Structure 1
Amino acid sequence: MTIVVIHSFRTRILSVLLLFFSSLPGFSQKQVAITMDDIEQRNAYLPEDFKATMLDTIIALDLPVMIFISEGRLFADDSVKRFYNIERWVSNPLIHVGSHTYSHLYYSDTTFSFYTRDIERGLAVSAPIAHKYGKTIRSFRFPFNCLGKDSLQHHQMRDYFAKKGMTIAPFSVESEDWAYNTVYEHYLSKGDTINASATGHRYVTQTLAMFHYLEKICQFQYNRDVRQIYLCHDNLINEHYLPQIIRALRKEGYETISFDKALADPVYQSADHYYKKWGISWIYRYNYEQLKEFFKQEPNDAIYREYEELMNEKNK
């Protein structure tokens, strides 16, 4: 038997063994689903004539993405172009569709009845668009990931969505991309490409650091890799820097998967006993008392402080 034949035989054996072990319940591979909130919120749509350039980035990455639409934003500015644009999103086979309230409400600031009316108002807009392209809206993400101010509000909404056959969309990893984007666009508006670029690279570094940190927590809590769900937004910094994040994750062995496949991880069927209004990762929600010290020690490069300073300056 020649060396070439032996090598080929070994390769086939290894492939068969890998296929076998990957089918076992305990086998773990790093996987991530990308979810994107606030489709149609971008300030950049006006100069771009409302073209969905973020969608072009997703297509180039061949990246399945779950989007969450605040339907009221479709009626801002030139509604005809916004509706054309959202249909371009929804019709793409890479895109799955969820709702995010009509008015992007903070649930703890309103009532159950008012909030559910706002959800229904939004679904009356987005559900027919999804249906037109053979899709169904089965998932809802709370703006700010606020499920209510107390256990009563939490349970009211869980019962409401259970009756509708809809899932409350969790996430495991996020990196305050909305704050980075505000700082990033500020520098771009000033023509300061050096600081804009530095902000973009900080965003990439922070996002990867958050993935690495949550990986360690999942190993600590579950002794395995959990299918991660990344929460980000339709904004300019993601249009420019999400490709770097995805390429880095894929280089680290991550497979990019659909939101539904990520939800099939048993972790996301865990009981949630976290009844505060703050929008923390579901990994903490499921085991908050055990993991709250880990939550306090998350990687932080102070972008929120810069964001607040910028907002305070703008509001003077």
Structure 2
Amino acid sequence: MKRFLSAILLLPLVSFAQRQVAITLDDAPIMALPGYYTAAQRKATNEKLLQQITLLRTPVSIFINGAHCIIPDNQQLLKKWADNQMITLGSHTLNHPNCADLPIDSFKMEVTINDYIIKAVAKDKPVPYFRFPYNAMGKDSVAQAVRIGYLKEKGYTAVPFTVESSDYMFEQTYQEALKKKDNTKAKAIGEAYIRYTLFSFDYFEKLAREVFGRDIPQVYLCHVNQLNADYYTTLVKALQQRGYQCVSLQQAMQDKAYDTPLYDHRQYGFSWLFRWIPDAAIRKSHLRNSPEPDKELAVFKSL
């Protein structure tokens, strides 16, 4: 026994702490970009994303807009997501409106009809989560409390995010390059997206340590689109190199950080790491200095 203990003490110290990230995909089964996606492109994008998620065994939560699923082809795409064991389902309203602009009865209708459409396809698979389009929860704290209270009655947990990298903006520029068959430019945009995403993670990691004094599980918000289908594996491997383990949304939100009260109730979406800062002056300073994709994208718009 003494020899065993001595051997243990002589082993090098290893840190078992690991960063965690829950990946969430909005606008399933496809991000709406009028004029860009053909039916074949929608199918290929969904299948490619699902294939990589399955191969990499990364738990992912998707947030569904039911209006997209009225088309039979899209219903089949949604069924593939629902049948995949790595996927957790969430609601993203029927038509993706700004819910802060909706009367409460209209908001309830958006949620209820979306429930019906999702469950008609997903059958008995649970749908535990809800994300507000644009992360616009309501025009003020009172309106937000009413909407979130209704979601709780329906069995939903309203989902925040801590990191996003404006992938929808990169996606539009990416699609423009692909449409012109400029594969060199498209590749450069994809690489810029990964670079900017990692820069965003770096920023919000530092902010989390300032707010909580430690790393917290991050919730990354992105979208079902071709850019992510083409660069999902690259992104996951880059995050793993930064020490991240991909975990489920449920596991990430068990961290006590996600019980922190909100101190900012503006209707438009920005990271909950800002909303969790009690001091308004400090919060504004961080918001002013937060990552913006404009410089990355300006290069491509000028070409």
Q: Say yes or no: TM over 0.5.
A: yes
What are the residue-to-residue correspondences of 1:156-235 with 2, within 5 Å?
156-235=146-225
Q: Which runs of 5+ in 2 are unaligned?
A: none
CA distance in 2, matches of 1:189, 1:48: 12
The letter for the 1-side match of 2:65 is S
CA-based RMSD = 2.5
* 1:40 maps to amino acid: P
Match of 2:73 in 1: 81
| Match in the other structure for 1:119 | 111
Whichever residue aligns with residue 230 of structure 2, its letter is H
Matches within 5 A, 1:283-294: 283-287=273-277, 289=280, 290-294=282-286
What is the CA–CA distance in structure 1 between the aligned matches of 2:277 and 2:184, rounded to whole Å? 41
- The residue type paired with residue 108 of structure 1 is A
1:35 alignment partner in structure 2: 24
Structure 1: distance between partners of 2:234 and 2:42:
26
SS at the partner of 1:231? strand
In structure 1, C-alpha distance between the alignment counterparts of 2:95 and 2:175, rounded to whole Å: 24
Indicate how the Cα distance of structure 1 residues 276 and 304 shifts in structure 2: closer, same or farther if over 3 A, else same: farther
Deviations 1:144-190 (A, max 9, x none): 11111222321111211222232111100000000000001001101
3-state SS in 2 of match to 1:216: helix
In structure 2, relative to structure 1, the CA distance for the partners of 1:12 and 1:157 (3 Å cut) is: farther
Structure 1 CA distance for aligned equivalents of residues 122 and 106 of structure 2 = 24
Residue identity in the other structure for 1:191: K
Paired with 1:118 and 1:303, the residues of 2 have a C-alpha distance of 36
TM-score (norm 2): 0.88
% identical equivalent positions: 30
Deviates more, 1:169-178 or 1:152-161: 152-161
In the TM superposition, residue 130 of structure 1 has moved relative to its aligned partner by: 3.3
Select between 220-229 and 162-171 the one with higher mean Cα deviation. Answer: 162-171
Matching residue's letter, 1:65? V
Q: CA deviation digits over 1:226-281, x for unaligned, max 9?
A: 10000000001111112211101101111100010001011111111322111011
Instruction: Name the counterpart of 2:93.
Output: 101
- CA–CA separation in structure 2 for the residues paired with 1:73 and 1:9: 61
Question: Across the two proteins, how many residue pairs are aligned to each other?
Answer: 290
- Distance across 1 between alignment mates of 2:160 and 2:87: 17
Question: Which residue type is aligned with residue 72 of structure 2?
Answer: V
What are the superposed Cα offsets for residues 123-149 of structure 1, whole Å, 9 maximum, x if unpaired? 0111343343xx211110001111112
- Name the residue aligned to 1:259: 249
In the other structure, the counterpart of 1:149 is 139
Distance 1:218 1:72 in 2: 36
Aligned to 1:46: 39
Name the SS for the 1:50 alignment partner.
Answer: helix
Equivalent position of 2:61 in the other structure: 66
* Deviation larger for 262-271 or 288-297: 288-297
Distance 1:158 1:98 in 2: 15
Can you list the C-alpha shifts for 1:182-226, whole angstroms capped at 9, x where unaligned? 001001101112221111111101100010101101111111101
Corresponding letter in the other structure for 1:57: Q
Counterpart of 2:265, as a letter, is Y
For residue 263 of structure 2, give the secondary structure of its aligned residue in structure 1: coil
Structure 1 residue aligned with 2:261: 271
Partner SS state of residue 137, structure 1: coil
Instruction: Flag the 1:44–1:58 CA change in 2: closer, same or farther, 3 A.
Output: farther
| Separation in structure 2 between the aligned mates of residue 37 and residue 252 of structure 1, nearest angstrom | 24
Q: State the SS of the aligned residue for 1:136.
A: coil
| Aligned counterparts of 2:9 and 2:154: Cα–Cα separation in 1 | 50
- Unaligned 5+ segments in structure 1 are 23-27, 311-316
User: Within 2, Cα distance between the matches of 1:274 and 1:177?
Assistant: 24
Given that 2:162 and 2:271 are in contact with CA atoms closer than 8 Å, whether structure 1 keeps it comes out as yes
